[in-house]
């Protein structure tokens, strides 16, 4: 018995020489990836093509690791799924499955230097500024017809050409549609997309909003940063417009307040207003209803649904609440231990769940039409992300385990046009859907 305890301790013990080796390898890897992010390259180097033109984002074999003192944590370990334009995709799974790290990888906001995208692609259909030979943006000028009937550029009192204004009140520049690989983009290039083309609603507004600045200051900052040439007055007007859009009754009053003066629901609305200020194509909502009461949750979800229709955008909704996903999502991606284990339409996942983990998640959710003494709990624990097994990560917790589950990790099998599952229960056999 004592020998067994000693062996268990040794499993979790790192010697001094192993610790030095891990630190050396981490330093080498981090240095390499940080240099990649700081490099200066032409846009052609990270330009790519969509596999399906109907998608706005395509994740393919994405790996995002954290280089810790105990070893490499494989937080996202080969994730592949797509977000169709104009749709809501719900990403679900228990805490620590890699949902938030996937979204932070899309935003290039993984906590560096320990966190790095090490492999894979994130293809995004972006509208980028056209550049001249010197790498400067190409403005669109106002024109007028002269006395000879010819079109010429309009000049201001100082004799300089007048740049046209866009719908947000900033300078208008020539744009081009380009598919970029965010995983390969340098940080400098990503700044023209983050906040303008892709916006994120963070999980906890109280920690995301700065307590020492007013709501107006924080909204205005986004406008000044991403809308070049916008006036102070127009920035303020735009900020108040957004506060009205998210259903705040007294936008002028809230504009002058500090975050601590607002309720949780109001702060979440402010976060949504900040995300929407530049009319993004894609909104990443990372558990937007966490820590809110049920009534406010419903209001926030209704608000997101209405706004999605108004801006004709897409939403990547990250949550562990299956009720929220059932109400909001068109497509659902189920993640476990850094991998996608099932994905399909909301109907596929909720009416015909196939993976034992997905079935277990649904069983663990309380329902109003059934009476149970104790909620179902998936047995066992998630494997250690530093020493992941070679076989299916869910094998040790699965109640339907087969002999071949001890073999290599199961591939994602397509069981219908919209439904895919990573499980040996459906490998090479006729699929029988759970009803």
**Residue range 199-212: average pLDDT?**
88
Give CA separation, 274 vs 99, 180, 268, 269, in Å.
Answer: 22, 24, 10, 9
Whole-number Å distance between alpha carbons of 297 and 268: 10
E strands, 133-193, are 143-145, 151-153, 175-181
pTM: 0.89
Q: Which of 282, 280, 362 is nearest to 82 (CA)?
A: 282
Q: The tokens of 340 are what? A: 């996608």
Radius of gyration of the chain measured on its C-alpha atoms: 25
Q: Determine which of 65-74, 85-94, 204-213 has the lowest per-residue pLDDT on average.
A: 204-213
246-283 confidence digits (pLDDT tens): 889 899 999 999 999 998 889 989 999 999 899 899 99
Q: So what's the pLDDT on residue 371?
A: 73
Q: What is the pLDDT of residue 432?
A: 47
For residue 180, give Cα distances in angstroms to 30, 43, 205: 23, 8, 30
pLDDT band at 12 (very low <50, low <70, confident <90, very high): low
Q: Provide DSSP, 220-289.
A: HHHHHHHSTT--HHHHHHHHHHHHHHTT-S-HHHHHTS-GGGS-HHHHHHHHHHHHHTT--SEEEEESTT
Output the CA–CA distances (angstroms, integers) from residue 151 to 118, 139, 143, 154, 166, in the order listed.
52, 17, 6, 9, 21
Mean pLDDT over 113-121 rounds to: 95
Q: What is the pLDDT of residue 378?
A: 87
Work out the average pLDDT over 395-411. 90
User: Which pLDDT belongs to residue 430?
Assistant: 44
Statement: residue 417 has pLDDT above 60: yes
């Amino acid at each position: 018995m004592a020998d067994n305890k000693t062996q268990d301790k040794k499993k979790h013990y790192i010697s001094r020489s192993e610790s030095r080796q891990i630190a050396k390898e981490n330093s080498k890897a981090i240095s390499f990836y940080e240099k990649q992010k700081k490099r200066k390259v032409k846009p052609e180097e990270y330009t790519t093509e969509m596999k399906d033109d109907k998608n706005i984002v395509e994740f393919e074999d994405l790996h995002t690791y954290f280089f810790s003192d105990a070893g490499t944590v494989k937080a996202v370990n080969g994730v592949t799924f797509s977000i169709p334009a104009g749709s809501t995709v719900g990403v679900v799974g228990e805490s620590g499955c890699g949902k938030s790290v996937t979204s932070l990888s899309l935003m290039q906001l993984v906590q560096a230097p320990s966190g790095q995208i090490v492999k894979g692609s994130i293809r995004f259909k972006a509208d980028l500024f056209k550049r001249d030979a010197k790498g400067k943006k190409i403005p669109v000028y106002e024109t007028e017809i002269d006395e000879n009937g010819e079109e010429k550029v309009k000049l201001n009192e100082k004799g300089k050409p007048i740049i046209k204004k866009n719908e947000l009140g900033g300078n208008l520049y020539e744009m081009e549609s380009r598919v970029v690989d965010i995983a390969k983009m340098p940080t400098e290039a990503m700044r023209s997309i983050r906040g303008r083309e892709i916006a994120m609603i963070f999980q906890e507004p109280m920690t995301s909003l700065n307590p020492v600045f007013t709501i107006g200051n924080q909204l205005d900052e986004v406008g000044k940063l991403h809308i070049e040439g916008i006036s102070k007055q127009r920035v303020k007007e735009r900020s108040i417009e957004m506060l009205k859009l998210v259903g705040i009754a007294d936008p002028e009053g809230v504009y002058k307040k500090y975050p601590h003066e607002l309720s949780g629901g109001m702060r979440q609305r402010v976060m949504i207003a900040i995300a929407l200020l530049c009319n993004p194509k894609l909104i990443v909502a990372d558990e937007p209803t966490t820590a809110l009461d049920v009534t406010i949750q419903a209001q926030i979800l209704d608000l997101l649904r209405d706004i999605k229709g108004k801006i004709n955008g897409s939403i990547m909704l990250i949550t562990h609440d299956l009720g929220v996903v059932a109400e909001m999502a068109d497509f659902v991606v189920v993640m476990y231990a850094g991998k996608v284990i099932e994905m399909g339409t909301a109907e596929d996942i909720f009416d015909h769940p196939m993976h034992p983990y997905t079935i277990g998640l649904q069983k663990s959710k309380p329902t109003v039409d059934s009476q149970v003494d104790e909620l179902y709990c998936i047995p066992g624990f998630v494997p250690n992300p530093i020493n992941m097994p070679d076989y299916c990560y869910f094998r040790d917790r699965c109640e339907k385990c087969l002999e071949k589950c001890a073999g290599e990790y199961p591939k994602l099998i397509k069981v219908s046009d919209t439904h895919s599952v990573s499980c040996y229960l459906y490998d090479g056999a006729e699929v029988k859907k759970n009803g």
